[in-house]
Amino acid sequence: MEIGHKILELRKKANLSQEQLAEKLGVTRQTISKWELNETSPDIKQAKELSKIFKISLDNLTDNDITNLVIQKVSNTEKLTGSVLNASKWLGVCFVIILVIDLISFIIFIAMK
């Protein structure tokens, strides 16, 4: 079972709302929702705190597979890195276009003198 589904199951078993769990962890309700949907995952400190709240071992929380948690974190980081690189590429393209337009404007200005 993925960690998000495990968190959802444990939260419901403990009769906690997403808001209540978020408050205990010092995160937002949206963060809990993203964890439960497996869009993101808790960091190791948050996972340890979750295991305390639900009174289970960290191994039990992660189904004895902390590797999946690490892999998911790396995957999320890679996605974010890809987005940043893509944004940087487009920013560079826009900069070059503005530079070319500026250069053409300067040449026209000089030619008109």
pLDDT of residue 65: 62
Regions of the chain short of the pLDDT cut 50: none
pLDDT of residue 66: 66
pLDDT tens for 78-109 read 888 888 888 899 999 999 999 999 999 999 99
Query: Who's near 31: CB < 8 A, 6+ residues apart?
Result: 22, 25, 40
Q: Which domains can be identified in the chain, with CATH numbers?
A: 3-112 (1.10.260.40)
